[in-house]
């Protein structure tokens, strides 16, 4: 490598190192919404990803709620299967998250047309 090309590479890696360090110390990342926080809300599920947790695999969705992009846990015994079905049929989709009155009632999604 010649001098100017080496300098460019060094500047790029320095800039990347600075960006990584800034992200590491920042505190402005939004919290992931809980499933309970979405109860009774209508929102669009734009994308989902499956993550492994100590309690097994769970979905985190990128959602649009009241015009804002958010991340939210989409987990629950029946909810997990419903999210998988929605993903298989294609996203985005607008849904309403409901839950019965009982303490152990499951969260459920209803598609909103």
Domain extent listing, the chain: 1-30, 31-111
31-111: CATH topology is: OB fold (Dihydrolipoamide Acetyltransferase, E2P) (2.40.50)
Residue 73, both tokens: 């846990």
Least reliable range by pLDDT among 3-12, 29-38, 47-56, 103-112 = 3-12
Beta strands 68-74; 93-99: pairing state: unpaired
Least reliable range by pLDDT among 43-47, 100-104, 108-112 = 100-104
**How many residues are present in the chain?**
113
Q: What is the pTM of this model?
A: 0.73
Indicate the Cα dihedral angle 8, 14, 16, 21, nearest 10°. -170
pLDDT, tens digit, for every residue of 69-87?
Answer: 999 999 998 999 999 999 9
pLDDT, tens digit, for every residue of 32-77?
Answer: 999 999 999 999 999 999 998 898 899 999 999 999 999 999 999 8
């Amino acid at each position: 490598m010649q001098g100017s090309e080496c300098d460019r590479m060094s500047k790029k890696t320095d800039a990347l190192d600075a960006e990584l360090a800034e992200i590491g110390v920042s505190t402005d990342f939004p919290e992931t919404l809980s499933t309970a926080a979405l109860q009774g809300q209508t929102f669009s599920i734009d994308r989902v990803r499956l993550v492994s947790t100590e309690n097994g695999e769970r979905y985190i969705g990128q959602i649009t709620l009241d015009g804002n992009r958010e991340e939210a846990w989409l987990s629950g015994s029946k909810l997990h299967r419903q999210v998988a079905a929605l993903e298989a049929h294609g996203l985005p989709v607008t849904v309403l998250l409901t839950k019965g009155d009982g303490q152990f009632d499951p969260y459920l999604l209803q598609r909103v047309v």
